[in-house]
Amino acid sequence: MRREIMARHGPQPLGAESFAPSTHIKDELAERGWSIEHLAVKAGLDVSVIRGVVEDEYMYQQSIADGLGRAFGTSAALWTNLQLAHLAFTLHEMWAERQRSGPAPGPAEARPGRS
């Protein structure tokens, strides 16, 4: 049933824009006067992992969410939920853009010169 609804109407609107968790992390770092290196120590994670998270190169694993929660005094679920909300928002925006631009080309249209 849900697939039929999605096929007819697309995903439900998500409401307000969602920001990447890295935006929240950068805000927290600035507010607390912390460096990425300091956050890595507080989180118990390698600096390269924290840098990857801050630069949006990594999606969260449980260990990253646990570390961020430990460092910032929040739950790991907060960071996981921020990541999931941002991913859902991004996918919804991609779907909406695809609907505005029309269907994807078929196999013959996608490869000019082939029948």
Q: What percent of the chain has pLDDT over 70?
A: 73
Query: For the chain, what is the mean pLDDT?
Result: 81
Rounded CA-CA distance 108/114 in Å is 6
Residue 47's SS3 state is helix
65 domain-assigned: yes
Q: Please give the model's pTM, rounded to 2 decimal places.
A: 0.68
6 domain-assigned: no
72 domain-assigned: yes
Q: What's the domain count of the chain? A: 1
25 domain-assigned: yes
75 domain-assigned: yes
Angle (deg, nearest 10), helices 62-72 and 47-54: 90
- pLDDT of amino acid 92: 79
Contact call for residues 10 and 95 (beta carbons, < 8 A)? yes
10 domain-assigned: no
- pLDDT of amino acid 96: 79
Domain encompassing residue 67: 17-102
CATH code of 61's domain: 1.10.260.40
108 domain-assigned: no
Number of H-type helices and E-type strands within the chain: 7, 0
57 domain-assigned: yes
pLDDT-based confidence at residue 8 (cuts at 50, 70, 90): very low
Side-chain half-sphere exposure of 20, counting CA atoms within 13 A = 13
**40 Rama class: left (phi>0) / alpha (psi -120 to 50) / beta:** alpha
